[in-house]
Structure 1
């Protein structure tokens, strides 16, 4: 009985916020302002990063010091210089933010999973490789789960995984390089081929080397959004030339439309050839440039059920029809 009363007293003490004199005065906004300021050269720069004016930021920092009864900044310097207490608070802020983020993520993820709701981050081109067929089969296998598809660039998917905005991301091979602590696995393996206008002098060749394209004009996916485009450029450089890129686009459909208008060539995943393009020919590329479709996830948030779901997608994508009727 004594232990029960001790635990109750301890809980009452934790819930009695009045015993913590700073509890109603110290806010997350105040700590966030301090954290941004502690990583800035001066308060003007910090205010710009926070999208506020300098005066309220300065007032918040003085109030924070008053609440904690410590000096956080050495005001004898023009640039921001933290005191020893300021350095310690910056370290503690990092820990506080991480704990809160983990806690919020656990709650939101728990709510989605208990309601049978999964969110997938996708890039549109994966549907040309049979992802749509695979999802149809997946819905039959998991009829109680609601699947939500959110189109995001590969870089945005990585951020969304950390922020718990999506459960699994789906990207191309190049976007899985150097993604620690995230992990990935292959769903569907394919390589790149060459897409040319049907009147191009090389369109009748059965196979081409990258060096055969040294004098060609290229249309590519935006290198800001697509690591695959960067991978193609790197392979071209290895072959001794820098591709002459006349246009970069964001959407794969736009890329193919530009090629159909005879305004350049491109190096694209083989699965692009499954679609019906009236004025585009595809030629095998001698060099192997991987364009695999991969699942990306956070290892701490992946469950056995999600792993089984990814394995099912792998099976379904490789069983999808190789040709898609027009």
Structure 2
């Protein structure tokens, strides 16, 4: 029986290759079994069955070490190509399905809605009732990966997260600056505006840097203004950041549109310097989907109509 027949009759399966690949990546049967959420015994049995069907030795095993043979190394490389091709094929099918049902998958952070995005989408739907939206909450870095894997059609992120995004493209949807956020009991609350150097002695809370490139951008701007900020806390969610500021003496620098939400016990103070919090759409520039192109064309004007200032 040749190899093609072994594949066709199910003796060589995708699961079997996935098990082999997991072991080849960590070179440890126990760790691979843990990653695959199975016990070690069926994993070893699958590898032995694969070796038997292929009539090769894939691993050299001792009591202390596991090492790939030359044939095992070749299969590892081929599996990597196979899984990549498999992912691409599945992504193409799911993307084609979205095109057929006019669904636009949008990756975003929920704080984007504070900039009037929900109202803009309602207006968009009046002109394009055939389109539906599927919102997937993703941090900007994960949005980029989801775009590359065709799991979403558009990502929504701030200016700082649009740098170095090749092969993706970015389009400005709405321009807005950052401002200073303090509690309503903070000594700076009565200021009509603030310069960055007036914050030199303050303690800061920011969004976690793994979730937003804006934090590193803000810190870089503060460094250029003459001081390194004392970052006391980093949080995951913008709502948590608002709560921390409202109940402490810490300050933050946030997009101006945050003030459109009804927050208690905080004050928003304009910055004399400009730090960009502009909202961008991240997308595949080669996308031929009419729904994506319609979104990119219409949303900038609709966001501006929300009169956020």
State the TM-score, normalized to the length of structure 2: 0.87
Task: Kindly report which structure 2 residues correspond to 1:113-124, keeping only aligned pairs within 5 A, or say none.
Answer: 113-124=99-110
1:203 matched residue in structure 2: 189
Q: Within 1, Cα distance between the matches of 2:47 and 2:143?
A: 35
Paired with 1:224 and 1:152, the residues of 2 have a C-alpha distance of 12
2:38 is matched with: 52
Tell me how far 1:201 sits from its aligned partner. 2.5
- Bigger drift between 146-155 and 198-207 goes to 198-207
2:120 aligned with 1:134, yes or no?
yes
Pairwise CA distance, 1:28: 1.0
Point out the structure with max Rg over C-alpha.
1
- Conserved? CA contact 2:281–2:296, under 8 Å: yes
Q: Which residues of 2 match residues 84-99 of structure 1 at below 5 A?
A: 84-99=70-85
- State the Cα distance separating 1:276 from its structure 2 match: 4.4
Q: Assess, with a 3 A threshold, how the Cα gap between structure 1 residues 113 and 304 changes in structure 2: closer, same or farther.
A: closer
Residues 18-69 of structure 1, C-alpha deviations (whole Å, 9 max, x = no match): 9613431111111111222222132233223223233222222121111112
1:20 aligned partner: 5
CA deviations on 1:170-197 (whole Å, 9 max, x unpaired) are 1222222333433322211222111122
Q: Which residue of 2 aligns with 1:74?
A: 60
Deviation at 1:266, TM superposition (A): 0.8
Task: Measure how far apart 1:96 and its partner are.
Answer: 1.2
1:40 touches 1:80 (CA, 8 Å); kept in 2? no
**Distance of 2:3 and 2:14 partners within structure 1:** 18
Distance 1:56 1:183 in 2: 45
Task: Summarize deviations over 1:112-141 as a string: whole Å, max 9, x none.
Answer: 221122221221221222212210111012
Gaps of 5+ in 1: 1-16
Q: Does 1:176 align with 2:162?
A: yes
The worse-fitting range, judged by mean Cα deviation, of 95-104 and 257-266 is 257-266
Instruction: Tell me the TM-score normalized by structure 1.
Output: 0.83
The superposition leaves residues 78-129 of structure 1 with CA deviations (integer Å, 9 ceiling, x where unpaired) of 4332222222212211221122112211222212221122221221221222
Contact 1:42 1:78 (C-alpha < 8 Å) held by counterparts: no
SS in 2 for 1:93: helix
Contact 2:186 2:249 in 1 (8 A): no
Q: How does 1:225-264 map to 2 (within 5 A)?
A: 225-264=211-250
* Structure 1 partner of 2:277: 291
Distance of 2:55 and 2:4 partners within structure 1: 17
Aligned Cα RMSD in Å? Answer: 2.7
